Amino acid sequence: MANLSRRKFLSRVSMTAAASVLLPTVGYSASKLFTQHTNPGSFVIAPTAHGKIKGLRVDGVNCFKGVAYGGTVSGDRRFRRPAPIEAWTGVKDALELGAPTMQPPRRGEPAPAEDCLFLNVWTPANDHKKRPVMVYTHGGGYVNGSGGAAGQDGANLARNFDVVVVETNHRLGLLGFLYLDEIAGEDYTGSGNMGVLDITAALKWVHENIAEFGGDPDNVMIFGESGGGGKTSCLYAMPETAPYFNKASIESGPGVRMLTKDLAAETTERVLKELNITKQNWRKLLDVTPNQLLEIQNKFTFIPPFQENINMPEMIGFGPVVDGVTLPNHPFDPTAPDISKDKPLITGWNEDEYAFFIMTRGEGDLTKISFDDLPAKLEPEFGKDTATIIETYRRSMPDASAPQILMAVKSITLMGLGSVEIAEKKANQKGAPVYLYNFGYKSDMKIPGTDYPMGTPHAMDISFKFNNEVPPKEGDKPFWSLAGNNPDKYIASHKMAELWTNFAKTGVPSAKEVPEWPAYNFKTRPTMRIDTKCEVINDRFSKELDMWRSINKLKTL
């Protein structure tokens, strides 16, 4: 596969940059689900390995917020493993969100801070019942987001499906992924992967403590969307993480390949140059203020959750690193990771991913292009293959307009091809099953400033799988959603949440009034299309995928 040009690459990462900035709050108003309660609740106390914490029970769910799962990661712990948690006496409040990592301020959350290792827990009861545990990793690329974003509030999943939900804040960007292994010595081994090692530390906390929250430490699912899907892809391939989870879901963020050591080292060199620090004096990095580091971080491009090519010279920025130790190999290149061969997996994408990026980039004019315009819109990314791509899609979608073909092409290349590649490589392993999906519920909204349907944009699945698309209760404050206002969204949300929670419980995604979801295989190549009415579609997009394979945009086995 030929390397992307600088212009092509920047066009692509700029979309991820938009997502990283807007994903955490895009679907929701300041009236956050965290505070939408019909009663003031009552306090509940829970023991942990380091001391007792006080949460709040509201509407049948115990919620503990801002729980420390690691010690400081500032000072001499910057770029290193966190300090141990210090035990406490008495009862510590777990009633407010913890600080997210360094990033622009987040609506309704504490000020971002370097010390950010906090998690939130939702459980039906602290009763030692051994419920399945669902540990979610937020989106926002590798530079933005938190476990406190409204659309991923875990109360409805816990209440309606009898599971325990956990979400983390963890280091991101320069603080989470600056590769210092080659210049800083043994104490900094894994520095390029601190962001995902933080999540591993949270999973260890879950293993040691979740029984006190009614969860089963031996039945843990990890899942994540967009950048969270990329991070989940890494966790699925990391030896240190392996003991702490049993199944996974990678959603609209197929992390097939990650940064190589050479590319990560080049990013480090550029950071040092920006700060006028030599490699020999790298320790001066510890004296730079967090805000200065954030300013430096913002000068770099954003790394998408996927990489088409393992040798992309323009891929300079912050994201997980194949360092040969903490992340021994690319998550799904050349094969699915042996270390998770026996762990079931879900992977898939939304049908109209690209609508989100048209919206966030203010490119509504793309919804009005003609077929004469279409080649010029695709050539910067696809070059000499553009004519083949357009011809294939015009044959497979004979009634489609030029904007519809643009949407289909951009959506499948953003998140679809990597998802198919993961499914095929996992299925080829002949171990635990893998399940491929397309989320297809159609919003009744238009892309702002246009008459073009929003469809099923990137990120809209978050509130659906968390069952947060539900009829409002009396006294609840309404919130704006990408899904629009059609009440049939409640049906699709319940079905998606039920599929995910049953997968957490059994390793097989299932739901009432949903057909049996077959594991992906090379005979029928089944995909579950998730909507108000779910259906299994065999060999979906077969002509298009054959074409993508033929031009080497989808790796064949």
Whichever domain contains 251, its CATH number is 3.40.50.1820
pLDDT score of 533 more than 90: yes
Catalytic residue chosen out of the listed positions 170, 330, 458, 494? 458
143, 302 in Cβ contact below 8 A?
A: yes
End position of a domain, from candidates 292, 311, 340 = 340
* pLDDT on residue 478: 66
End position of a domain, from candidates 314, 340, 366 = 340
**Unique residue bearing structure tokens 């909507």:** 531
Residue 85 domain flag? yes
pLDDT band for 303, please (50, 70, 90 cuts). Answer: confident
**Residues 331 and 425 reside in one and the same domain:** no
Q: How far is residue 4's CA from residue 547's CA, in Å, rounded to a whole number?
A: 19
pLDDT band for 30, please (50, 70, 90 cuts). Answer: very low
Catalytic residue chosen out of the listed positions 353, 424, 469, 544? 353
Catalytic residue chosen out of the listed positions 146, 191, 226, 233? 226
Q: Which domain holds residue 178?
A: 43-259+323-340
Q: How far is residue 74's CA from residue 496's CA, in Å, rounded to a whole number?
A: 39
42, 59 in Cβ contact below 8 A?
A: no
* pLDDT on residue 391: 98
Please give the angle made by the CA atoms of 295, 230 and 133, to the nearest 5 degrees: 115
96, 65 in Cβ contact below 8 A?
A: yes
Q: What is the pLDDT of residues 65-96, one digit of tens each?
A: 999 999 999 999 999 999 999 999 999 999 99
Residue 317 domain flag? no
End position of a domain, from candidates 340, 368, 396 = 340
**Residues 253 and 361 reside in one and the same domain:** no
| 330 carries an active-site annotation | no
Q: What is the DSSP string of 111-151?
A: PP-S---EEEEEES-SS---EEEEEEE--STTTS--TT-GG
**Residues 77 and 10 reside in one and the same domain:** no
Summary mean pLDDT of the chain: 92
User: Which value, in Å, is the radius of gyration of the alpha carbons in the chain?
Assistant: 22
Percent of the chain exceeding pLDDT 90 equals 87
| 251 carries an active-site annotation | no
Q: How far is residue 124's CA from residue 481's CA, in Å, rounded to a whole number?
A: 26
| 458 carries an active-site annotation | yes
* pLDDT on residue 474: 80
pTM of the model: 0.94
Provide the 8-state DSSP code for 8. H
Q: How far is residue 545's CA from residue 503's CA, in Å, rounded to a whole number?
A: 27
Residue 422 domain flag? yes
Residue 442, classed as helix, strand or coil, is coil
**Residues 456 and 335 reside in one and the same domain:** no
Residue 367 domain flag? yes
Residue 24 domain flag? no
User: Cβ–Cβ contacts within 10 Å for residue 344, how many?
Assistant: 22
Domain count within the chain: 2
* pLDDT on residue 40: 67
Q: How far is residue 548's CA from residue 222's CA, in Å, rounded to a whole number?
A: 30
* pLDDT on residue 18: 40
**Residues 393 and 416 reside in one and the same domain:** yes
**Residues 11 and 73 reside in one and the same domain:** no
User: Cβ–Cβ contacts within 10 Å for residue 90, how many?
Assistant: 7
Q: What is the pLDDT of residues 373-382, one digit of tens each?
A: 999 999 999 9
Residue 311 domain flag? no
Q: How far is residue 157's CA from residue 122's CA, in Å, rounded to a whole number?
A: 9
Residue 445 domain flag? yes
Which two structure tokens, joined as six digits, stand for 212?
Answer: 């006190």
Distance of CA 135 to the CA centre of its chain: 12
pLDDT band for 499, please (50, 70, 90 cuts). Answer: very high
* pLDDT on residue 315: 63
CA atoms within 13 A on the CB side of 58: 18
**Residues 70 and 165 reside in one and the same domain:** yes
**Residues 100 and 203 reside in one and the same domain:** yes
pLDDT band for 111, please (50, 70, 90 cuts). Answer: very high
**Residues 334 and 369 reside in one and the same domain:** no
**Residues 61 and 206 reside in one and the same domain:** yes
* pLDDT on residue 316: 79
**Residues 364 and 403 reside in one and the same domain:** yes
User: Cβ–Cβ contacts within 10 Å for residue 389, how many?
Assistant: 23
**Residues 468 and 427 reside in one and the same domain:** yes
pLDDT band for 301, please (50, 70, 90 cuts). Answer: confident
* pLDDT on residue 306: 67
Q: What is the pLDDT of residues 332-354, one digit of tens each?
A: 999 999 999 999 999 999 999 99
